Amino acid sequence: MSTPEERLGALGLAIPPVPEPLATYVPFRIAGDMLYVSGQGPRMADGSYQVGRLGFDTTVEEGYEAARLTGLHLLAVARLAVGDLSRIEAVVKLFGMVNAEANFADQPKVINGCSDLLVEVLGDAGRHARSAIGMGSLPNRMIVEIEAIFQIRKP
């Protein structure tokens, strides 16, 4: 059986560095065997975010890719928190927010980008409960923001 890191490599993906928080919060908090990861966005290598508004200037496909990139950032924070992605027992819950016009109704299709990535990398442990909702705006005009709750194994 391959590890999450090996599956990332096979997909041609790399875990990005974890940026410093933009405000007064921590990137994660561990409580017992639960890891709570603060909301992450589609931050690119140059530090900027993928920006846009679904139903206005951004397509569902672009939103999907932004959510997929955001999933990599969630995994980056999880790895920082626990040292090894193999310690993830389960992705318990995702809360996905989509920067969207009021009449946009495909939030689940957008957040699937993150969900699909987590299943590709973590296998069955990546399957999760989820919310996908539209927001009137998001910080830095980013396309999506997603937070996650993971169950973790002891080292």
pLDDT at residue 155, as a whole number: 81
pLDDT at residue 1, as a whole number: 64
Q: Into how many domains does the chain fold?
A: 1
Mean pLDDT by 10 residues, the chain (155 residues): 92 93 92 98 95 98 98 98 97 98 97 98 98 97 98 92
35 with 152: CB under 8 angstroms? Answer: yes
Q: Which two tokens stand for residue 42?
A: 């589609």
Pairing of strands 88-99, 129-135: parallel
pLDDT at residue 88, as a whole number: 98
Residue 112: CATH number of its domain: 3.30.1330.40
**Which residues span the domain enclosing 51?**
4-152
pLDDT at residue 20, as a whole number: 85
Which residues are CB-neighbours of 94 under 8 A, at least 6 positions away? Answer: 111, 114, 115, 118, 128, 129, 130, 131, 146, 147, 148
pLDDT at residue 38, as a whole number: 97
CB atoms within 10 A of CB 121: 25
